[in-house]
């Protein structure tokens, strides 16, 4: 994070005891193939070149770096080409940052082989954090990712990946952060994805996913953010949210959900942001939302009806959106909704109905007496 400029000196490869080379966020230029000069640094553990101006394609020699390398970051550079399948030779790698480059091609199956030997009779995956987002990757997520049982963060968003979300991801029992947004994934969300994992953040927005939200989402007791917006999900929103006490951000907009907002929403007392817009939801706007610490609420373009509350988030017109619900009324004046027409109590309506009937009978009797006279 300085203003270093120029090319990388080739003699860095002569530093045989070099363990950490951290040059991120400068203005260093040159071809990324200079990595070839570091293959003799057999003790190298950390290589961070993020946020510079390296160009060229990823060399296969990246696989010849030190087998002690645990942290490799080359993101935020105009690097192109494919991820070499030989990268699986880096057996101790637990952080891989290749985000915001111009990397193309498919994710190599061998990436799921990044595992190290702890005991002779036991192997476990070494990879913990993987950032491959904001590239031009295509194809499917390899099933081999299910081998990465220690993986805690996987960011593949903003690519051109397609196919189904692999069932094997459910084997990543330590996966806390999963972002697959802005791709072309199809199919549905598997139940298994929510059976063994315990997400903190899950984002599958802006894909072509369909079907319903699995009931097993109630297992996500540590979930803070859930984003399934801009897909083709349908059905009713499952009434299982009472098991998600830490949920703060919920985005379900631009789908085909219908029915009422489930009663279990009343348990989501940590909610800060909610977007349910552009669905087919109906029924009244729940009054309990006015007691939540919400800072953003979007219920627009649904079929909600009835009176809008005036307290809490509903007292801030700039923090809520209710447009496109033609049967809503009341609320604060800034929302420009029509006044609610309050119906008379049932007993009162019956009283006036009976009174009209009796008056009608009286007039009829008077009329008949006149006729007889």
CATH of the domain at 24: 3.80.10.10
46 in helix, strand or coil?
Answer: strand
**Measured between alpha carbons, how far is 351 from 77 in angstroms, rounded to an integer?**
79
CB 161 within 8 A of CB 183: yes
CB count in 10 Å sphere of residue 22: 12
**Measured between alpha carbons, how far is 104 from 57 in angstroms, rounded to an integer?**
10
Q: Tell me the residue range of the domain where 97 lies.
A: 5-345
- 325/248 same-domain check: yes
**For the residues 95-118, what does the mean pLDDT come to?**
83
- 145/177 same-domain check: yes
CB 39 within 8 A of CB 13: yes
What length does the chain have? Answer: 373
- 170/278 same-domain check: yes
* Count of structural domains within the chain: 2
Residues 6+ apart with CB under 8 A from 269: 245, 291, 292, 293
Q: Give the mean pLDDT of the chain.
A: 89
Q: How is residue 112 written in tokens?
A: 């799921």
**Measured between alpha carbons, how far is 124 from 214 in angstroms, rounded to an integer?**
29
Residue environment code for 135-159, b if the CB has 16+ CB neighbours within 10 A, otherwise e = bebbeebbebbbbbbbbbbbbbbbb
Please give the residue that has the higher pLDDT: either 213 or 115.
Answer: 213
114 pLDDT tier (thresholds 50, 70, 90) = confident
- 190/289 same-domain check: yes
pLDDT of 230 strictly over 70:
yes
pLDDT of 359 strictly over 80:
no
| Residues of the chain above pLDDT 90, percent | 74
**Measured between alpha carbons, how far is 173 from 161 in angstroms, rounded to an integer?**
23
- 243/312 same-domain check: yes
79 in helix, strand or coil?
Answer: coil
Sign of CA dihedral 11, 15, 16, 21: negative
- 335/353 same-domain check: no
87 in helix, strand or coil?
Answer: helix
- 199/115 same-domain check: yes
| Residues of the chain above pLDDT 70, percent | 88
- 97/119 same-domain check: yes
pLDDT of 364 strictly over 60:
no
- 265/361 same-domain check: no
- 366/295 same-domain check: no
119 pLDDT tier (thresholds 50, 70, 90) = very low
pTM score of the predicted model: 0.88
CB count in 10 Å sphere of residue 59: 17
CB 222 within 8 A of CB 243: no
Out of 86-90, 268-272, 329-333, which region has the weakest mean confidence (pLDDT)? 86-90
121 pLDDT tier (thresholds 50, 70, 90) = very low
- 280/144 same-domain check: yes
pLDDT of 189 strictly over 50:
yes
- 162/117 same-domain check: yes
Considering only CA atoms, which of 92, 30, 25, 18 is closest in space to residue 59? 30
CB 50 within 8 A of CB 75: yes
The pLDDT value given to residue 125 = 42
The pLDDT value given to residue 176 = 95
**Measured between alpha carbons, how far is 206 from 131 in angstroms, rounded to an integer?**
19
pLDDT of 123 strictly over 60:
no
Considering only CA atoms, which of 292, 291, 262, 290 is closest in space to residue 276? 262
The pLDDT value given to residue 124 = 41
**Measured between alpha carbons, how far is 222 from 201 in angstroms, rounded to an integer?**
9
Q: Cα–Cα–Cα angle for 35, 41, 47, nearest 5°?
A: 55
150 pLDDT tier (thresholds 50, 70, 90) = confident
**Measured between alpha carbons, how far is 16 from 18 in angstroms, rounded to an integer?**
6
């Amino acid at each position: 994070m300085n203003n270093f400029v120029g090319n990388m000196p080739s003699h860095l490869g002569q530093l045989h005891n070099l363990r950490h080379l951290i040059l991120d966020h400068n203005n260093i230029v040159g071809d990324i193939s200079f990595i070839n000069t570091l293959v003799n640094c057999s003790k190298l553990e950390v290589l961070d070149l993020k946020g510079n101006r390296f160009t060229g394609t990823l060399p296969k020699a990246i696989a010849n770096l030190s087998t002690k390398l645990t942290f490799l970051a080359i993101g935020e550079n105009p690097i192109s080409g494919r991820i070499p399948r030989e990268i699986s030779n880096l057996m101790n790698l637990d952080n891989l940052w290749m985000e915001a480059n111009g990397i193309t091609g498919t994710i190599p199956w061998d990436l799921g082989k990044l595992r190290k030997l702890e005991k002779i009779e036991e192997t476990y995956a070494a990879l913990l954090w993987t950032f491959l987002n904001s590239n031009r990757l295509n194809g499917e997520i390899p099933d081999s990712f299910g081998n990465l049982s220690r993986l805690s963060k996987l960011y593949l968003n903003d690519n051109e990946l397609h196919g189904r979300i692999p069932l094997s991801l459910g084997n990543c029992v330590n996966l806390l952060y999963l972002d697959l947004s802005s791709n072309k994934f199809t199919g549905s969300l598997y139940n298994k994805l929510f059976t063994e994992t315990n997400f903190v953040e899950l984002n599958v927005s802006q894909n072509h996913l369909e079907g319903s939200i699995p009931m097993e989402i109630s297992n996500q007791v540590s979930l803070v953010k859930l984003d399934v917006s801009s897909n083709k999900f349908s059905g009713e929103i499952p009434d299982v949210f009472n098991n998600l006490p830490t949920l703060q951000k919920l985005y379900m907009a631009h789908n085909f959900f219908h029915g009422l907002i489930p009663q279990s929403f009343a348990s989501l007392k940590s909610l800060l942001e909610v977007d349910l817009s552009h669905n087919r939801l109906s029924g009244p706007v729940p009054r309990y939302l006015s007691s939540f610490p919400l800072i953003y609420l979007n219920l627009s373009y649904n079929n909600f009806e009835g009176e809008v509350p005036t307290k809490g988030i509903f007292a801030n017109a700039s923090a809520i959106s209710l447009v496109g619900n033609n049967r809503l009324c009341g609320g604060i004046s800034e929302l420009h909704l029509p006044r609610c027409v309050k119906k008379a109590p049932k007993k009162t309506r019956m009283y006036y109905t009976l009174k009209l009937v009796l008056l009608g009978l009286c007039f009829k009797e008077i009329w008949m007496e006149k006729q007889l006279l």
